[in-house]
Structure 1
Amino acid sequence: MPMSAATIPVSALPFPVMLIDENQIVAGLSPALAAVLGEHIKGRHFISALRQPVTLEAIETAMRTGQAVQTRWLGRDGARDTTWAVHVIPDAGRIVLTFEDRTAAEEVSQFRRDFVANVSHELRTPLTALQGFIETLRGAARNDAAARERFLGIMERESARMTQLVDDLLSLSRVEEGERQRPIQAIAIGALVAATLADLEPVIAAAQVKVTLTDDTAGASVLGDTNQLRQVFGNLIENAVKYGGTGGTLTVTLDAPAQHNALHAKGIAVHVQDRGPGIAQHHIPRLTERFYRVDTHRSRALGGTGLGLAIVKHIINRHRGRLLIKSALGQGTTFTVILPQS
């Protein structure tokens, strides 16, 4: 005949469990739960031990009805909020509580909600503009050739923004999907960066930016994915051109292979440095977040989707590399990519 839940030695259980006895006192804690709530709550009344109204109400309901109840308990692990699903089970006059850590699932759910909200917001602005211009062209501006040309130009830019957003979302999805698969192709990193600069020559020329390339790699290679690494350096160089200021200078430097503490291995560092207005320090830790922008209006005006650096971060992670960002207001910004040498 199986033992009653209340007779199980709680201290021997490997998962978070609490036992409340007939006197409503916390009579037992498993080590896993004691690590979360603290051993000191043992021997206290459950109200003073748990305190959270929703959890207390669930316990009282289980005591009153004799029926199992499910609730949740909110905790704190350092700087991180935690969420636990709590099963409250009455047993022979006692109450057994089992705790299930749902923090990761809650974070994923919140991420999805935020992601959908951000994408919706990014699409709503150009869609609203397009709808407004279509109504205007069908009405007041129907026979106004000058207005029609101006509105069609704006509509073209807004549709291009939406296309770029969709392309970046698909790119981010592909990168995340393959992030655990380490690239195995040997790539001469100096030649790749030089080719990327050549591809961006029209953008660089239009912004009248002077570019200096210094390559000390002597043909050294890294293990990588050619298309993804061109995307990384293309994004960083294009950002430096756009946000570094028209008529400015851009320096791209490839260091000789060296031991890097950030990798705990030998690697090659590539620095992309502009002399633009710089970025305030409080922005830097968030630059690689999806849709995060230092200057929302300027970024959108320049065609940014807020996903470029997120894509860069995931590609570099796939390559087991590191991305470092240094900036000072009025002095410019340096993005450094460190990749393991092949």
Structure 2
Amino acid sequence: MDADTFIRAIPMPCAVIGADQRLAALNPAAERLFGGAVLGRHYAAVFRQPALLDRIETVMQTRVPAQARHIASGEARERLYDVSITPLDAGMGTILAFDDVTALEEAGEMRSEFVANVSHELRTPLTAISGFVETLRGPARDDAAAREHFLKIMESETRRMHRLVDDLLSLAKVEDTEGLRPTEQQDVAELLLNAALNLQGQADDRLVQLHVRGCDAPVMAPADPDQLTQVFTNLIENAIKYGGSGGEVTVTLSQVQHDPRLRGPGLIVAVTDKGEGIDERHLGRLTERFYRVDDHRSRGMGGTGLGLAIVKHIVNRHRGRLRIESTPGQGSTFSVALPTR
């Protein structure tokens, strides 16, 4: 079997450099990566990146396999490859295999960013509590008013850490079950109505009128009741907190015979407020972990920055779709479309 036939059976991009240092063969994946017109050209004119060229030259001289990195600039984004460089027997040339590790690198960066964000979120309340403890042991030891004030803030910061830990555990649990689609039929109307009733007191405290529509009759769908309740609670609570300045939040449940997003029949839960609205540049990032439109305001209201990330994963588990629409000055609508079969 010649080298050309061999590498065509390999799914990853592979190229063979002949003894004359010119490209002797490429498989289809390598042709898509470098173009089919590079056959016969000197390898240095094709690969170009100095670190990769240096490693290829070393392998040709020492006949010892080696590894290198290659960055491909495509139309959409850069892709990163681990390149295995192996000499062929009897001086027949060198074979290069390109392993796409872009996803692994991005996952590593996401983990590092996630750890950094969690550390930052925990460090702030811990620093505050530590400072207050030091003050209470020193200058404010005998100041009853100051002691009461500091203890109140410490209690608030402790609750914030509890919320963060709870949300982190919820996110981990949701991610673990995301591939398991719920199969048991549940009354989504009842779940939605109960979530709204549990938040009625919060709406009253903020002088927000909370309206629920479309929940008069059962609406069945395959669902995890606890997780869907978490979705509805999060969306309604956010509308009351951040959109409550408009004085009205409307929760609507409707059924559709065919939703193109679901490719079949489904139901739509829409939570609409008449608040300040959200600038378009933020909409695409709202479901990112720890992303906040107004960081100071969100922290002041007890937000952890994980709520919509949890919502996204739960909706994905139900094979549904989340849509966010907002116009500054006119309010926002968060809608969840769920398949009913």
> Under a length normalisation based on structure 2, what TM-score does the superposition of the two structures give?
0.94
Q: Deviations over 1:12-51 (max 9, x none)?
A: 3323211112222112111121121211222221111011
Q: Distance in 1 between matches of 2:76 and 2:120?
A: 29
CA RMSD of aligned residues (A): 1.8
- The residue number in structure 2 matching 1:248 is 247
Cα separation, 2, equivalents of 1:217 and 1:48? 70
Aligned partner letter, 1:67:
V
Is 2:34 the partner of 1:37?
yes
Aligned to 1:83: 80
1:19·1:27 contact (CA, 8 Å) conserved in 2?
yes
Aligned length: 338
1:69–1:88 CA contact under 8 A, matched in 2: yes
Tell me which residue corresponds to 1:12: 8
Shift in Å at residue 164 of structure 1? 0.6
Aligned to 2:126: 127
1:137 equivalent to 2:136? Answer yes
Q: 1:146 to 1:66 in 2, by over 3 A?
A: same
Unaligned residue ranges in structure 2 (runs of 5+): none
Structure 1 residue 247 displacement after superposition: 6.5
Matched, 1:327 2:326: yes
Determine what percentage of the aligned residue pairs are the same residue.
49
Residues 3 and 16, structure 2, Cα contact 8 Å, conserved in 1: no
Instruction: Give the match for residue 102 of structure 1.
Output: 101
Distance 1:23 1:142 in 2: 84
Distance in 2 between residues matched to 1:31 and 1:340, nearest whole Å: 39
CA distance in 2, matches of 1:96, 1:230: 56
Instruction: Tell me the residue number matched to 1:117.
Output: 116
Change in Cα spacing, 1:229 to 1:340, as seen in structure 2 (3 Å) is same
Q: 1:261 to 1:8 in 2, by over 3 A?
A: closer
Report the counterpart of residue 149 of structure 1 in structure 2: 148
3-state SS of 1:286 partner: coil
1:198 maps to a residue whose letter is L
Paired position in structure 2 for 1:269: 268
Q: Which runs of 5+ in 1 are unaligned?
A: none
Residue deviations 1:99-125 (CA, integer Å, cap 9, x gap): 112122222212211111111111111
Structure 2 residue corresponding to 1:59, chosen from 51, 56, 60: 56
Q: Is this contact kept in 2: 1:84–1:101, CA < 8 A?
A: yes
Shift of 1:275: 0.6
Please list the CA deviations of residues 283-334 of structure 1 after superposition, one character each: whole Å capped at 9, or x if unmatched. Answer: 1111111111111111111111111001111111111111111000000000
1:205-220 correspondence to structure 2 within 5 Å: 205-215=204-214, 218-220=217-219
Partner of 1:48: 45
Is contact 1:257–1:341 with CA below 8 Å preserved after alignment?
no
Q: Structure 1 pair 260/28, CA: closer, same or farther in 2 (3 Å)?
A: same
Q: CA 1:269 to 1:233, structure 2 compared with 1: closer, same or farther past 3 Å?
A: same
- Measured after TM superposition, the shift of residue 234 of structure 1 is 0.3
Asked whether the 8 Å contact 1:217–1:268 carries over to 2, the reply is: no
> How much does 1:64 deviate?
2.8
Return the TM-score normalized by structure 1. 0.94
Give 1:178 shift: 0.9
Q: Which amino acid aligns with 1:215?
A: G
Distance 1:316 1:124, change over 3 A: same
User: SS of the counterpart of 1:256?
Assistant: strand
Contact 1:71/1:86 (<8 A) preserved: yes
Whether 1:69 and 2:79 are equivalent positions in the alignment is no
Give yes or no for contact 2:246–2:275 (8 Å, CA) kept in 1.
no
